Structure 1
Amino acid sequence: MRALLVVNPAATTTSARTRDVLIHALASEMKLDVVTTEYRGHARDLGRQAAQSKDIEMVVALGGDGTVNEVVNGLLHEGPSPGLPGLAVVPGGSTNVFARALGLPNDPVEATGALLDALRTGSERTVGLGLAAGTPDSEDEAVPARWFTFCAGYGFDAGVVGRVEQQRERGKRSTHALYVRQVVRQFLDEPRRRHGAITLERPGEDPVADLVLSIVGNTAPWTYLGNRPLYASPQASFDTGLDLLGLSKLSTPAVTRYATQLLTSSPERGPHGKHALSLHDLTDFTLHSKVRLPFQMDGDHLGLRTSVTFTGVRRALRVIV
């Protein structure tokens, strides 16, 4: 087997020495081409080249969720196809939601061992993914459709992601404490806590207006706080369409209630209440806003949008796991 290993040298939980050990372990079992990413979008370009190659059978992403997202978008540049290389993931970021949702160990060495075991036994699965595109209007430029592996957000949570990225650009380390601080700051600065600007539209259904927060999930858990899994949409699955959690109120009492529910969430129950909207197994829907709001996919802030259209695509990509 010939494989391409895409390495993010800035992965927060792996050292150069650890990466060398992982590379040698993988190279002992396959013909391995190793490429280190050099710029934002490089992993996407490498995934696209692998998809167009005639002899690469697998792409291994060594990095965090952002690296995985880029590789996936490269592999699926021309859409899902049975002949595409399989995807394997070795977690190297601070959270690694996609890898952990697949059942992989969060430790990169242990995950490499699990990957080698999967290759020896031929263990793999085909997962569903989300596809999202910004709709152009008088202010937005057309945004190409982009795949996401585990979540997208429009509004409040995307604002938090944007704040975290700003802090990282200033040299701050990506930690869970950093995320918590930015959640508090986003809440304090949020001008539409009581009357949201987001409207959900689905084919054949009445619109749902005035949402402040909208989290689109492709799997559960939604994310992790340290080793604690958080379930925004407990029913979300790689085997179904997309799930949506929407909140129509973020007053101080409401935030306290929903934050507590999120911290104590489980595979059986997530946030709930009269201001919470939970929808399961959606295929096509659109989120509109009266004002331009932040948008994120797989923890990557993608700027401001007035409208985003989502599609749940079943059996989109083969994953070695």
Structure 2
Amino acid sequence: MRAVLVVNPKATTTSERSRDILVRALRSEVDLTVEYTRRRGHGVALGRAAVLDGVDLVVTLGGDGTVNEVVNGLMTAPPADPGAPPGSRPLPGLAVVPGGSTNVFARALGMPREWSDGAGVILEALRAGRSRAIGLGRADDRYFTFCAGFGLDAAVIRRVERARYHGRRSSPALYVTALVQQFLVGTERRHPSIMLERPGEEPAEDLATVLIQNTSPWTYFGDRELNPNPRASFDLGLDLLAMRRLHVPSATRTVTQVLSQHADPHGKQVVRLHDLDEFTLVARRPQAFQLDGDYLGEREKVRFTSVPEALRVIC
């Protein structure tokens, strides 16, 4: 079996020694090539090259951003023949070794938090021939594995990324600070501008922020799962939670419900939809936009679709 290990050398929870141990372990099972990401977006090129080279397995060592880039490379590789439809070329399997600070995708697959334990699970799965097919989400022409956001949560991620650029360490406290700042002074809460459009349905207007999930959980706050849509699953379509006007009492109640692992968020200001095949978000003003925890700028319109059984994952 031919495999490629895509390593983010800036992964926060691994070292050069741990990478060497992982490489030796994988080489005991597969014919392995190691590639390092050099810049943002490089993982897309490496994933695409793996498909074109016809390898059997791609392993990532990094965080959710590394996984997202590699998945987009796998999913957007050109077909073998110019006239063939997209997706006609066989895709490698994907295995994820957690190496970032949160590792939502790996943990949603049931992988252990520690990279060494995760590597052990992958090796056992390879020996047993164990894998599963999972669905993905797509936002316009870009794929995501576990979540997307349009509005407040993406603006919070933008604040966090700016803070990290200036030397702050990623932590739950940093996210809480960014959320409070964005909610109080950075969001126009009284005049929501987002509209949700679905085929054959009346549009839902005057939404302030929208959270989209391809699986559960949406993310983690330390060890605590955050689950706006607890029924979201890799085996179903997309789930959505939107909030209308961000009044302090209603927003606080919804956040409290999300933080509780045993409550389904609900209320007059909450819109929730389950197992969606497609929908479009349209905003009167540009809105912050994120996929899998990476801020991607501002958009006025994004079309979301569910892509069932898109990838084979070794876990």
Q: TM-score range by the shorter chain?
A: over 0.9
Equivalent residue number for residue 138 of structure 1: none
Equivalent residue for 1:252, pick from 226, 245, 248:
248
Number of equivalenced pairs: 307
Task: Give 3-state SS (helix, strand or coil) of 1:75's partner.
Answer: helix
**Deviation (angstroms), 1:194:** 3.2
2:189 matched to 1:193? yes
Deviates more, 1:205-214 or 1:12-21: 12-21
Task: Give the AA of the match of 1:62.
Answer: L
Deviates more, 1:202-211 or 1:168-177: 168-177
Counterpart Cα distance in 1 of 2:206 and 2:6: 42
Equivalent residue for 2:119, pick from 112, 125, 136:
112
Equivalent residue number for residue 272 of structure 1: 266
Calculate the TM-score normalised by the size of structure 1: 0.93
Equivalent residue number for residue 50 of structure 2: 50
Counterpart Cα distance in 2 of 1:225 and 1:199: 29
Task: Give 3-state SS (helix, strand or coil) of 1:35's partner.
Answer: strand
Counterpart Cα distance in 1 of 2:186 and 2:193: 12
Counterpart Cα distance in 1 of 2:36 and 2:187: 42
Task: Give 3-state SS (helix, strand or coil) of 1:277's partner.
Answer: strand
Task: Give 3-state SS (helix, strand or coil) of 1:220's partner.
Answer: coil
> Map of 1:27-176 to 2, 5 A cutoff?
27-54=27-54, 56-78=55-77, 79-81=86-88, 83-133=90-140, 145-176=141-172
Task: Give the AA of the match of 1:22.
Answer: L
Task: Give 3-state SS (helix, strand or coil) of 1:45's partner.
Answer: helix
Task: Give 3-state SS (helix, strand or coil) of 1:12's partner.
Answer: coil
Counterpart Cα distance in 2 of 1:61 and 1:166: 25
- Gaps of at least 5 residues in structure 1 are 134-144
Equivalent residue number for residue 226 of structure 2: 230
**Deviation (angstroms), 1:81:** 4.6
Counterpart Cα distance in 2 of 1:131 and 1:80: 14
Residue identity over aligned pairs, in percent, reads 56
The CA deviation string for residues 57-81 of structure 1, in whole angstroms up to 9 with x for no partner, is 0000100000000000000014545
Cα RMSD for the two superposed structures? 1.2
The CA deviation string for residues 171-228 of structure 1, in whole angstroms up to 9 with x for no partner, is 2222222111111111112342233110000000000011111001000011100111
The answer to whether the 8 Å contact 1:80/1:317 transfers is no
Query: Runs ≥4 in structure 1, deviation > 6 angstroms?
Result: none
Counterpart Cα distance in 1 of 2:42 and 2:124: 29
Counterpart Cα distance in 2 of 1:10 and 1:279: 37
The answer to whether the 8 Å contact 1:194/1:248 transfers is no
Residues 82, 272 of structure 1: alpha-carbon distance in 2 compared, 3 angstrom cutoff? farther
Counterpart Cα distance in 1 of 2:34 and 2:201: 49
Task: Give 3-state SS (helix, strand or coil) of 2:246's partner.
Answer: coil
Task: Give the AA of the match of 1:244.
Answer: L
The answer to whether the 8 Å contact 2:152/2:187 transfers is no
The CA deviation string for residues 93-123 of structure 1, in whole angstroms up to 9 with x for no partner, is 1111110000100110000000001101111
The CA deviation string for residues 28-83 of structure 1, in whole angstroms up to 9 with x for no partner, is 211110111111111110000001113x1000010000000000000001454571
**Deviation (angstroms), 1:21:** 1.4
Counterpart Cα distance in 2 of 1:85 and 1:163: 35
Task: Give the AA of the match of 1:278.
Answer: R
Calculate the TM-score normalised by the size of structure 2: 0.95
Residues 163, 191 of structure 1: alpha-carbon distance in 2 compared, 3 angstrom cutoff? closer
The answer to whether the 8 Å contact 2:290/2:296 transfers is yes
Equivalent residue number for residue 313 of structure 2: 319
Counterpart Cα distance in 1 of 2:125 and 2:200: 43
Residues 121, 82 of structure 1: alpha-carbon distance in 2 compared, 3 angstrom cutoff? farther
Equivalent residue number for residue 208 of structure 1: 204
Residues 81, 96 of structure 1: alpha-carbon distance in 2 compared, 3 angstrom cutoff? farther
Deviates more, 1:182-191 or 1:43-52: 182-191
Equivalent residue number for residue 303 of structure 1: 297
Residues 265, 80 of structure 1: alpha-carbon distance in 2 compared, 3 angstrom cutoff? farther
